[in-house]
Protein backbone atom coordinates (compact mmCIF):
# COMPACT_ATOMS: atom_id res chain seq x y z
CA UNK A 1 0.00 0.00 0.00
CA UNK A 2 2.90 2.40 0.70
CA UNK A 3 4.18 1.87 -2.84
CA UNK A 4 0.73 2.51 -4.33
CA UNK A 5 0.31 5.67 -2.24
CA UNK A 6 3.69 6.95 -3.44
CA UNK A 7 2.70 6.37 -7.10
CA UNK A 8 -0.50 8.35 -6.55
CA UNK A 9 1.33 11.20 -4.80
CA UNK A 10 4.03 11.48 -7.48
CA UNK A 11 1.41 11.53 -10.26
CA UNK A 12 -0.68 14.18 -8.54
CA UNK A 13 2.14 16.57 -7.66
CA UNK A 14 3.50 16.42 -11.22
CA UNK A 15 0.15 17.02 -12.85
CA UNK A 16 0.00 20.79 -12.81
CA UNK A 17 -3.20 22.85 -12.55
CA UNK A 18 -6.55 21.30 -13.17
CA UNK A 19 -10.08 22.43 -13.93
CA UNK A 20 -12.12 22.50 -10.73
CA UNK A 21 -15.35 21.68 -12.59
CA UNK A 22 -13.97 18.56 -14.30
CA UNK A 23 -16.07 15.54 -13.28
CA UNK A 24 -14.55 12.41 -11.82
CA UNK A 25 -15.22 9.13 -13.64
CA UNK A 26 -16.00 5.85 -11.87
CA UNK A 27 -15.78 3.24 -14.62
CA UNK A 28 -17.05 -0.20 -13.64
CA UNK A 29 -16.68 -3.34 -15.78
CA UNK A 30 -18.54 -6.57 -14.99
CA UNK A 31 -17.64 -9.88 -16.61
CA UNK A 32 -20.31 -12.02 -18.34
CA UNK A 33 -23.23 -10.02 -16.92
CA UNK A 34 -26.35 -10.32 -19.02
CA UNK A 35 -29.15 -7.71 -18.77
CA UNK A 36 -31.22 -9.82 -16.41
CA UNK A 37 -31.64 -8.02 -13.10
CA UNK A 38 -34.08 -5.57 -11.54
CA UNK A 39 -33.20 -2.54 -13.66
CA UNK A 40 -34.03 -4.63 -16.74
CA UNK A 41 -37.34 -5.86 -15.37
CA UNK A 42 -36.13 -9.22 -14.05
CA UNK A 43 -37.23 -9.43 -10.43
CA UNK A 44 -35.79 -12.92 -9.87
CA UNK A 45 -32.21 -11.65 -9.54
CA UNK A 46 -31.39 -9.91 -6.26
CA UNK A 47 -29.41 -6.85 -7.37
CA UNK A 48 -30.13 -3.93 -5.01
CA UNK A 49 -26.98 -2.00 -5.87
CA UNK A 50 -27.20 -2.39 -9.63
CA UNK A 51 -30.79 -1.21 -9.32
CA UNK A 52 -29.75 1.66 -7.05
CA UNK A 53 -27.24 2.82 -9.67
CA UNK A 54 -29.94 2.58 -12.33
CA UNK A 55 -32.27 4.73 -10.24
CA UNK A 56 -29.58 7.42 -10.06
CA UNK A 57 -28.97 7.40 -13.80
CA UNK A 58 -30.17 5.89 -17.06
CA UNK A 59 -30.57 2.26 -18.11
CA UNK A 60 -29.78 1.54 -21.75
CA UNK A 61 -31.90 -1.40 -22.81
CA UNK A 62 -30.43 -1.74 -26.30
CA UNK A 63 -26.69 -1.54 -25.76
CA UNK A 64 -24.56 -3.89 -27.87
CA UNK A 65 -20.99 -5.12 -27.67
CA UNK A 66 -18.93 -5.40 -30.84
CA UNK A 67 -17.94 -9.05 -30.31
CA UNK A 68 -19.35 -11.35 -27.67
CA UNK A 69 -16.18 -12.53 -26.00
CA UNK A 70 -13.96 -10.84 -23.43
CA UNK A 71 -10.86 -9.52 -25.18
CA UNK A 72 -12.38 -8.27 -28.46
CA UNK A 73 -15.24 -6.59 -26.58
CA UNK A 74 -13.03 -4.93 -23.98
CA UNK A 75 -10.48 -3.94 -26.60
CA UNK A 76 -13.17 -2.30 -28.71
CA UNK A 77 -14.55 -0.36 -25.77
CA UNK A 78 -11.16 0.74 -24.43
CA UNK A 79 -9.68 1.75 -27.80
CA UNK A 80 -12.85 3.13 -29.38
CA UNK A 81 -12.44 1.04 -32.53
CA UNK A 82 -14.12 -2.09 -33.87
CA UNK A 83 -12.61 -5.59 -34.03
CA UNK A 84 -11.74 -5.37 -37.73
CA UNK A 85 -9.67 -2.26 -36.97
CA UNK A 86 -7.97 -3.54 -33.80
CA UNK A 87 -7.45 -7.00 -35.40
CA UNK A 88 -8.48 -8.51 -32.07
CA UNK A 89 -10.94 -11.32 -32.76
CA UNK A 90 -9.57 -13.83 -30.24
CA UNK A 91 -8.22 -14.13 -26.69
CA UNK A 92 -4.56 -14.30 -27.69
CA UNK A 93 -3.86 -11.01 -29.51
CA UNK A 94 -3.10 -7.67 -27.86
CA UNK A 95 -4.39 -4.58 -29.67
CA UNK A 96 -0.96 -2.90 -29.58
CA UNK A 97 0.21 -5.47 -32.15
CA UNK A 98 -1.95 -3.82 -34.85
CA UNK A 99 -2.37 -0.39 -33.23
CA UNK A 100 0.89 0.41 -31.44
CA UNK A 101 0.16 4.15 -31.20
CA UNK A 102 -3.56 4.10 -30.44
CA UNK A 103 -4.73 6.31 -27.57
CA UNK A 104 -6.93 4.30 -25.21
CA UNK A 105 -9.84 5.70 -23.23
CA UNK A 106 -7.88 5.92 -19.99
CA UNK A 107 -4.83 7.26 -21.80
CA UNK A 108 -6.92 10.04 -23.34
CA UNK A 109 -8.14 11.15 -19.93
CA UNK A 110 -4.61 10.89 -18.53
CA UNK A 111 -3.31 13.05 -21.38
CA UNK A 112 -5.87 15.72 -20.43
CA UNK A 113 -5.01 16.05 -16.76
CA UNK A 114 -6.82 13.15 -15.10
CA UNK A 115 -5.31 10.73 -12.64
CA UNK A 116 -6.18 7.33 -14.11
CA UNK A 117 -6.00 4.13 -12.11
CA UNK A 118 -7.26 0.63 -12.86
CA UNK A 119 -7.86 -2.48 -10.77
CA UNK A 120 -9.47 -5.85 -11.34
CA UNK A 121 -10.47 -7.25 -14.73
CA UNK A 122 -10.46 -4.44 -17.29
CA UNK A 123 -8.42 -5.71 -20.19
CA UNK A 124 -8.74 -9.45 -20.72
CA UNK A 125 -6.95 -12.05 -18.62
CA UNK A 126 -3.18 -11.67 -18.53
CA UNK A 127 -3.26 -8.57 -20.70
CA UNK A 128 -2.67 -5.04 -19.52
CA UNK A 129 -1.74 -1.78 -21.21
CA UNK A 130 0.66 0.40 -19.23
CA UNK A 131 0.07 3.61 -21.28
CA UNK A 132 -3.58 3.55 -20.15
CA UNK A 133 -2.79 4.22 -16.50
CA UNK A 134 -1.15 6.92 -14.39
CA UNK A 135 0.10 4.21 -12.01
CA UNK A 136 0.47 0.47 -12.62
CA UNK A 137 -2.75 -1.52 -12.86
CA UNK A 138 -3.47 -3.77 -9.84
CA UNK A 139 -4.89 -7.28 -9.93
CA UNK A 140 -6.05 -7.91 -6.30
CA UNK A 141 -6.42 -11.63 -6.95
CA UNK A 142 -8.39 -13.88 -4.58
CA UNK A 143 -9.06 -17.62 -4.33
CA UNK A 144 -10.78 -19.43 -7.19
CA UNK A 145 -12.79 -21.60 -4.75
CA UNK A 146 -13.78 -21.36 -1.12
CA UNK A 147 -13.56 -25.05 -0.21
CA UNK A 148 -10.11 -26.55 0.23
CA UNK A 149 -10.96 -29.70 -1.74
CA UNK A 150 -12.01 -27.62 -4.74
CA UNK A 151 -8.95 -25.38 -4.54
CA UNK A 152 -6.68 -28.42 -4.41
CA UNK A 153 -8.47 -30.17 -7.28
CA UNK A 154 -8.34 -26.99 -9.35
CA UNK A 155 -4.61 -26.59 -8.72
CA UNK A 156 -3.95 -30.21 -9.76
CA UNK A 157 -6.05 -29.80 -12.93
CA UNK A 158 -4.30 -26.55 -13.82
CA UNK A 159 -0.87 -28.16 -13.38
CA UNK A 160 -1.90 -31.16 -15.50
CA UNK A 161 -3.12 -28.82 -18.21
CA UNK A 162 0.21 -27.03 -18.26
CA UNK A 163 -0.90 -23.87 -16.43
CA UNK A 164 0.33 -21.45 -15.43
CA UNK A 165 2.26 -21.24 -18.67
CA UNK A 166 4.43 -18.24 -17.84
CA UNK A 167 4.30 -14.99 -19.75
CA UNK A 168 3.12 -15.33 -23.36
CA UNK A 169 5.07 -13.88 -26.23
CA UNK A 170 4.66 -10.15 -26.81
CA UNK A 171 1.24 -9.42 -28.26
CA UNK A 172 -0.05 -12.90 -27.42
CA UNK A 173 -1.78 -14.58 -24.50
CA UNK A 174 -1.53 -18.19 -23.38
CA UNK A 175 -4.37 -20.47 -24.44
CA UNK A 176 -6.89 -21.72 -21.88
CA UNK A 177 -6.94 -25.36 -20.82
CA UNK A 178 -8.91 -28.08 -22.53
CA UNK A 179 -12.01 -30.06 -21.49
CA UNK A 180 -12.36 -30.67 -17.70
CA UNK A 181 -9.03 -28.89 -17.07
CA UNK A 182 -10.53 -26.76 -14.31
CA UNK A 183 -12.39 -27.31 -11.03
CA UNK A 184 -16.17 -27.52 -10.57
CA UNK A 185 -18.39 -25.11 -12.49
CA UNK A 186 -20.09 -23.84 -9.32
CA UNK A 187 -19.61 -23.74 -5.58
CA UNK A 188 -21.30 -22.41 -2.44
CA UNK A 189 -18.95 -22.00 0.53
CA UNK A 190 -19.41 -20.40 3.93
CA UNK A 191 -16.53 -17.94 3.58
CA UNK A 192 -16.10 -14.14 3.82
CA UNK A 193 -16.65 -12.00 0.74
CA UNK A 194 -12.97 -11.07 0.55
CA UNK A 195 -12.02 -14.72 0.02
CA UNK A 196 -12.62 -14.11 -3.67
CA UNK A 197 -11.28 -11.61 -6.16
CA UNK A 198 -14.28 -9.31 -6.32
CA UNK A 199 -14.24 -8.79 -2.54
CA UNK A 200 -10.56 -7.87 -2.70
CA UNK A 201 -11.12 -5.56 -5.67
CA UNK A 202 -13.94 -3.78 -3.82
CA UNK A 203 -11.72 -3.32 -0.76
CA UNK A 204 -8.94 -1.90 -2.94
CA UNK A 205 -11.39 0.42 -4.69
CA UNK A 206 -12.70 1.70 -1.35
CA UNK A 207 -9.16 2.40 -0.11
CA UNK A 208 -8.26 4.10 -3.38
CA UNK A 209 -11.31 6.36 -3.30
CA UNK A 210 -10.23 7.46 0.15
CA UNK A 211 -6.76 8.30 -1.15
CA UNK A 212 -8.16 10.24 -4.11
CA UNK A 213 -10.88 12.12 -2.26
CA UNK A 214 -8.57 14.73 -0.72
CA UNK A 215 -6.72 15.44 -3.97
CA UNK A 216 -7.51 18.36 -6.29
CA UNK A 217 -6.98 16.38 -9.48
CA UNK A 218 -10.01 14.73 -11.16
CA UNK A 219 -9.76 10.97 -11.29
CA UNK A 220 -10.74 8.23 -13.68
CA UNK A 221 -11.01 5.12 -11.51
CA UNK A 222 -11.60 1.87 -13.41
CA UNK A 223 -12.83 -1.08 -11.34
CA UNK A 224 -13.29 -4.51 -12.91
CA UNK A 225 -15.42 -7.20 -11.25
CA UNK A 226 -14.91 -10.84 -12.31
CA UNK A 227 -18.28 -12.37 -11.41
CA UNK A 228 -20.58 -13.74 -12.68
CA UNK A 229 -17.88 -15.28 -14.91
CA UNK A 230 -17.39 -19.03 -14.56
CA UNK A 231 -16.93 -20.76 -12.21
CA UNK A 232 -20.11 -19.66 -10.45
CA UNK A 233 -18.51 -19.36 -7.04
CA UNK A 234 -19.99 -17.19 -4.31
CA UNK A 235 -20.33 -17.27 -0.51
CA UNK A 236 -23.22 -19.38 0.73
CA UNK A 237 -25.30 -16.38 1.85
CA UNK A 238 -25.74 -15.30 -1.77
CA UNK A 239 -26.92 -18.76 -2.81
CA UNK A 240 -29.40 -18.60 0.06
CA UNK A 241 -31.11 -15.60 -1.54
CA UNK A 242 -32.68 -17.93 -4.12
CA UNK A 243 -35.15 -20.80 -4.01
CA UNK A 244 -33.95 -23.29 -6.66
CA UNK A 245 -37.53 -24.37 -7.30
CA UNK A 246 -38.40 -20.82 -8.39
CA UNK A 247 -35.60 -20.56 -10.96
CA UNK A 248 -37.02 -20.84 -14.46
CA UNK A 249 -35.06 -22.60 -17.15
CA UNK A 250 -34.68 -21.23 -20.67
CA UNK A 251 -37.95 -21.19 -22.59
CA UNK A 252 -36.20 -21.94 -25.89
CA UNK A 253 -33.61 -24.68 -25.29
CA UNK A 254 -33.32 -25.40 -29.01
CA UNK A 255 -31.48 -24.04 -32.03
CA UNK A 256 -33.13 -21.45 -34.21
CA UNK A 257 -35.11 -23.00 -37.04
CA UNK A 258 -33.43 -22.68 -40.48
CA UNK A 259 -30.28 -21.09 -39.03
CA UNK A 260 -26.79 -22.27 -40.10
CA UNK A 261 -25.55 -25.03 -37.80
CA UNK A 262 -22.47 -22.95 -36.95
CA UNK A 263 -24.42 -19.87 -35.88
CA UNK A 264 -24.58 -21.07 -32.25
CA UNK A 265 -22.32 -23.64 -30.59
CA UNK A 266 -23.24 -25.54 -27.42
CA UNK A 267 -20.69 -23.81 -25.16
CA UNK A 268 -17.17 -25.24 -25.06
CA UNK A 269 -16.09 -22.83 -22.33
CA UNK A 270 -18.45 -24.51 -19.86
CA UNK A 271 -17.02 -27.93 -20.76
CA UNK A 272 -13.65 -26.87 -19.33
CA UNK A 273 -15.11 -27.42 -15.86
CA UNK A 274 -15.33 -30.67 -13.94
CA UNK A 275 -18.73 -32.35 -13.86
CA UNK A 276 -20.06 -30.83 -17.09
CA UNK A 277 -20.92 -33.49 -19.69
CA UNK A 278 -20.74 -33.18 -23.45
CA UNK A 279 -24.11 -32.69 -25.07
CA UNK A 280 -27.33 -31.48 -23.43
CA UNK A 281 -27.41 -30.78 -19.71
CA UNK A 282 -29.93 -32.36 -17.39
CA UNK A 283 -32.63 -30.11 -15.96
CA UNK A 284 -31.14 -30.48 -12.49
CA UNK A 285 -27.66 -29.45 -13.60
CA UNK A 286 -29.02 -26.56 -15.65
CA UNK A 287 -30.92 -25.34 -12.59
CA UNK A 288 -27.79 -25.58 -10.40
CA UNK A 289 -25.78 -23.61 -12.95
CA UNK A 290 -28.41 -20.91 -13.23
CA UNK A 291 -28.67 -20.74 -9.43
CA UNK A 292 -24.90 -20.27 -9.28
CA UNK A 293 -24.99 -17.57 -11.95
CA UNK A 294 -27.60 -15.61 -10.01
CA UNK A 295 -25.73 -16.06 -6.71
CA UNK A 296 -22.58 -14.77 -8.41
CA UNK A 297 -24.44 -11.67 -9.61
CA UNK A 298 -25.69 -11.00 -6.08
CA UNK A 299 -22.17 -11.43 -4.70
CA UNK A 300 -20.75 -9.00 -7.25
CA UNK A 301 -23.65 -6.63 -6.57
CA UNK A 302 -22.74 -6.50 -2.88
CA UNK A 303 -19.16 -5.55 -3.77
CA UNK A 304 -20.46 -2.83 -6.09
CA UNK A 305 -22.51 -1.57 -3.14
CA UNK A 306 -19.37 -1.17 -1.02
CA UNK A 307 -17.82 1.04 -3.70
CA UNK A 308 -20.96 3.14 -4.19
CA UNK A 309 -21.34 3.52 -0.42
CA UNK A 310 -17.81 4.89 -0.17
CA UNK A 311 -18.40 7.26 -3.09
CA UNK A 312 -21.40 8.63 -1.16
CA UNK A 313 -19.63 8.70 2.20
CA UNK A 314 -16.77 10.75 0.79
CA UNK A 315 -19.13 13.26 -0.81
CA UNK A 316 -17.89 12.39 -4.30
CA UNK A 317 -21.15 11.26 -5.90
CA UNK A 318 -22.28 14.79 -6.74
CA UNK A 319 -19.25 15.31 -8.99
CA UNK A 320 -18.63 11.80 -10.33
CA UNK A 321 -19.93 10.22 -13.53
CA UNK A 322 -20.56 6.51 -12.97
CA UNK A 323 -20.71 4.12 -15.91
CA UNK A 324 -21.23 0.38 -15.47
CA UNK A 325 -21.10 -2.11 -18.34
CA UNK A 326 -21.10 -5.86 -18.78
CA UNK A 327 -18.61 -6.86 -21.49
CA UNK A 328 -21.23 -8.95 -23.35
CA UNK A 329 -24.32 -11.01 -22.72
CA UNK A 330 -24.50 -14.70 -21.80
CA UNK A 331 -26.66 -17.68 -22.65
CA UNK A 332 -28.19 -19.75 -19.86
CA UNK A 333 -29.51 -22.60 -21.97
CA UNK A 334 -31.14 -20.48 -24.67
CA UNK A 335 -30.79 -22.07 -28.11
CA UNK A 336 -29.55 -25.24 -26.38
CA UNK A 337 -26.30 -23.47 -25.53
CA UNK A 338 -24.36 -21.83 -22.69
CA UNK A 339 -21.83 -19.01 -22.43
CA UNK A 340 -21.35 -16.37 -25.16
CA UNK A 341 -19.48 -16.69 -28.50
CA UNK A 342 -22.26 -15.91 -30.97
CA UNK A 343 -24.16 -13.09 -32.64
CA UNK A 344 -27.46 -13.78 -30.90
CA UNK A 345 -29.33 -11.13 -28.95
CA UNK A 346 -28.54 -13.10 -25.78
CA UNK A 347 -24.82 -12.62 -26.36
CA UNK A 348 -24.51 -9.19 -27.97
CA UNK A 349 -27.02 -7.26 -25.84
CA UNK A 350 -25.35 -6.30 -22.56
CA UNK A 351 -26.04 -4.04 -19.57
CA UNK A 352 -25.12 -0.36 -19.64
CA UNK A 353 -25.95 1.99 -16.74
CA UNK A 354 -24.83 5.63 -16.80
CA UNK A 355 -25.25 8.18 -14.01
CA UNK A 356 -24.24 11.80 -14.60
CA UNK A 357 -24.46 14.44 -11.84
CA UNK A 358 -27.29 16.85 -12.58
CA UNK A 359 -28.80 14.75 -15.37
CA UNK A 360 -32.43 15.56 -16.14
CA UNK A 361 -33.82 12.06 -16.62
CA UNK A 362 -32.78 10.30 -13.43
CA UNK A 363 -34.09 6.75 -13.15
CA UNK A 364 -35.16 6.57 -16.80
CA UNK A 365 -34.64 3.96 -19.48
CA UNK A 366 -33.56 4.42 -23.07
CA UNK A 367 -34.43 2.16 -25.98
CA UNK A 368 -32.19 3.92 -28.48
CA UNK A 369 -29.51 1.76 -30.08
CA UNK A 370 -26.06 2.29 -28.60
CA UNK A 371 -22.81 0.38 -28.94
CA UNK A 372 -19.97 -0.17 -26.50
CA UNK A 373 -17.67 1.56 -28.97
CA UNK A 374 -19.76 4.68 -28.19
CA UNK A 375 -18.72 4.79 -24.52
CA UNK A 376 -15.31 6.33 -25.24
CA UNK A 377 -16.65 9.35 -27.20
CA UNK A 378 -19.53 9.77 -24.73
CA UNK A 379 -17.27 10.02 -21.69
CA UNK A 380 -14.96 12.41 -23.51
CA UNK A 381 -18.00 14.50 -24.45
CA UNK A 382 -19.38 14.55 -20.89
CA UNK A 383 -15.98 15.56 -19.49
CA UNK A 384 -15.50 18.32 -22.06
CA UNK A 385 -12.50 16.63 -23.68
CA UNK A 386 -11.79 16.68 -27.42
CA UNK A 387 -12.76 13.64 -29.46
CA UNK A 388 -9.75 11.70 -30.84
CA UNK A 389 -9.87 11.30 -34.59
CA UNK A 390 -9.51 7.50 -34.58
CA UNK A 391 -12.82 6.77 -32.81
CA UNK A 392 -15.40 4.60 -34.57
CA UNK A 393 -18.31 5.30 -32.25
CA UNK A 394 -20.77 8.10 -31.58
CA UNK A 395 -21.39 10.02 -28.37
CA UNK A 396 -24.78 9.13 -26.90
CA UNK A 397 -24.86 12.24 -24.74
CA UNK A 398 -27.95 13.42 -26.71
CA UNK A 399 -29.78 10.29 -25.48
CA UNK A 400 -28.82 11.09 -21.88
CA UNK A 401 -30.37 14.52 -22.40
CA UNK A 402 -33.45 13.12 -24.15
CA UNK A 403 -33.92 9.33 -24.06
CA UNK A 404 -36.79 9.51 -26.58
CA UNK A 405 -34.81 11.09 -29.39
CA UNK A 406 -33.67 9.10 -32.41
CA UNK A 407 -30.16 7.68 -32.18
CA UNK A 408 -28.20 5.58 -34.63
CA UNK A 409 -30.14 3.38 -37.01
CA UNK A 410 -28.23 0.16 -36.28
CA UNK A 411 -25.71 -1.50 -33.96
CA UNK A 412 -23.04 -3.86 -35.27
CA UNK A 413 -21.45 -6.99 -33.82
CA UNK A 414 -19.42 -9.83 -35.28
CA UNK A 415 -18.16 -13.30 -34.46
CA UNK A 416 -15.68 -15.57 -36.29
CA UNK A 417 -16.15 -19.27 -37.00
CA UNK A 418 -13.57 -21.87 -38.01
CA UNK A 419 -15.37 -24.74 -39.75
CA UNK A 420 -14.29 -28.36 -39.80
CA UNK A 421 -13.51 -28.24 -43.52
CA UNK A 422 -10.92 -25.53 -42.97
CA UNK A 423 -13.06 -22.59 -44.02
CA UNK A 424 -12.94 -19.41 -41.99
CA UNK A 425 -16.12 -17.33 -41.73
CA UNK A 426 -16.97 -14.05 -40.08
CA UNK A 427 -20.54 -13.51 -39.01
CA UNK A 428 -21.36 -9.81 -39.28
CA UNK A 429 -24.54 -8.94 -37.39
CA UNK A 430 -26.63 -5.78 -37.57
CA UNK A 431 -29.31 -4.96 -35.02
CA UNK A 432 -31.92 -2.41 -36.09
CA UNK A 433 -34.88 -1.24 -34.04
CA UNK A 434 -36.90 -4.24 -35.28
CA UNK A 435 -34.60 -6.80 -36.87
CA UNK A 436 -31.39 -8.72 -36.42
CA UNK A 437 -29.64 -9.36 -39.73
CA UNK A 438 -26.49 -11.51 -39.86
CA UNK A 439 -24.38 -12.18 -42.94
CA UNK A 440 -21.85 -15.02 -42.80
CA UNK A 441 -18.91 -14.05 -44.98
CA UNK A 442 -15.85 -16.14 -46.01
CA UNK A 443 -12.74 -14.47 -44.60
CA UNK A 444 -10.98 -15.11 -47.93
CA UNK A 445 -13.83 -13.53 -49.93
CA UNK A 446 -15.09 -10.56 -47.90
CA UNK A 447 -17.57 -9.45 -50.56
CA UNK A 448 -19.32 -12.83 -50.75
CA UNK A 449 -22.15 -13.99 -48.47
CA UNK A 450 -22.44 -17.67 -47.64
CA UNK A 451 -25.50 -17.55 -45.38
CA UNK A 452 -27.96 -15.02 -43.97
CA UNK A 453 -29.94 -14.92 -40.74
CA UNK A 454 -32.93 -12.65 -40.23
CA UNK A 455 -35.03 -12.40 -37.07
CA UNK A 456 -38.04 -10.16 -36.57
CA UNK A 457 -38.05 -8.96 -32.96
CA UNK A 458 -41.59 -7.69 -33.26
CA UNK A 459 -42.85 -11.28 -33.34
CA UNK A 460 -39.77 -13.34 -32.43
CA UNK A 461 -37.74 -11.56 -29.72
CA UNK A 462 -35.98 -14.79 -28.76
CA UNK A 463 -34.69 -15.24 -32.33
CA UNK A 464 -36.09 -18.75 -32.72
CA UNK A 465 -36.94 -18.70 -36.45
CA UNK A 466 -34.61 -17.52 -39.21
CA UNK A 467 -36.92 -16.01 -41.84
CA UNK A 468 -34.26 -14.92 -44.33
CA UNK A 469 -35.08 -17.58 -46.93
CA UNK A 470 -38.84 -16.96 -47.02
CA UNK A 471 -39.88 -15.61 -50.44
CA UNK A 472 -42.06 -12.90 -48.91
CA UNK A 473 -38.97 -11.47 -47.17
CA UNK A 474 -36.78 -11.18 -50.27
CA UNK A 475 -37.19 -7.40 -50.55
CA UNK A 476 -36.54 -6.94 -46.82
CA UNK A 477 -33.36 -9.04 -47.03
CA UNK A 478 -32.20 -6.95 -49.98
CA UNK A 479 -32.92 -3.73 -48.09
CA UNK A 480 -31.13 -4.89 -44.94
CA UNK A 481 -28.20 -6.21 -46.95
CA UNK A 482 -27.76 -2.77 -48.52
CA UNK A 483 -27.97 -1.14 -45.08
CA UNK A 484 -25.46 -3.62 -43.67
CA UNK A 485 -23.00 -2.92 -46.49
CA UNK A 486 -23.05 0.78 -45.57
CA UNK A 487 -21.75 -0.30 -42.17
CA UNK A 488 -21.43 1.68 -38.97
CA UNK A 489 -20.66 4.91 -40.80
CA UNK A 490 -24.02 4.73 -42.54
CA UNK A 491 -25.83 4.17 -39.22
CA UNK A 492 -24.63 7.32 -37.45
CA UNK A 493 -27.27 9.86 -36.41
CA UNK A 494 -27.78 12.76 -38.80
CA UNK A 495 -26.50 15.21 -36.19
CA UNK A 496 -23.32 13.29 -35.35
CA UNK A 497 -20.51 15.89 -35.57
CA UNK A 498 -18.19 13.25 -37.03
CA UNK A 499 -20.54 12.39 -39.89
Q: Nearest Cα to 27, choosing from 227, 324, 310, 319?
A: 324
Q: 10 Å Cβ neighbour count for 257? A: 10
- CA dist., res. 157 & res. 11, Å (int): 42
Separation between Cα atoms, residue 55 and residue 400, nearest integer Å? 14
Active-site residue numbers? 70, 124
Give dist(CA 455, CA 343) in Å, integer: 12
Name the helix (H) or strand (E) containing 292: helix 283-313
Distances (CA, A) of 264 to 261, 338, 342: 7, 10, 6
How many angstroms separate the CA atoms of 387 and 25, rounded? 17
- In angstroms, rounded to a whole number, what is the distance separating the alpha carbons of residues 46 and 103? 38
The whole-angstrom separation of Cα 175 and Cα 91 is: 8
CA distances from 317 to 26, 34, 379 (A): 10, 26, 16
The alpha-helical segments, DSSP class H, found in 330-437 are 345-348, 375-382, 397-401
CA distance 61 to 434: 14
With CA atoms as reference, report the closest residue to 197 among 222, 226, 223.
Answer: 226
> Are 430 and 488 in contact, with CB atoms under 8 Å apart?
no
Q: How far is CA 496 from CA 359, 394, 396, 398, in A?
A: 21, 7, 10, 10
Helix boundaries (H) for 314-428: 345-348, 375-382, 397-401
Amino acid sequence: MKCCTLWIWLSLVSAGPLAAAAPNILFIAVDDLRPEFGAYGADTVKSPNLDRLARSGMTFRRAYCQQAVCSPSRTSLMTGVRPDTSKVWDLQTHFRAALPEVTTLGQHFKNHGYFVQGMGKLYHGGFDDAPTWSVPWQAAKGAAYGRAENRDASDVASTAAGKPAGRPAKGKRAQAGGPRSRGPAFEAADVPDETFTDGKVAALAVRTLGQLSAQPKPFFLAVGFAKPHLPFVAPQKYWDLYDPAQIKLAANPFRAKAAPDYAVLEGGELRNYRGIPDGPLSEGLARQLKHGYYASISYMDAQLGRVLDELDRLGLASRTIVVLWGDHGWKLGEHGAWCKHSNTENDTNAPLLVSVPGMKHVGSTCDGLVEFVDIYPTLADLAGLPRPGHLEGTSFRPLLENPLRAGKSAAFSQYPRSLGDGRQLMGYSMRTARHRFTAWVPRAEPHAIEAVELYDHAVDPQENVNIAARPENAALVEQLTAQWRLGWKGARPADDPAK
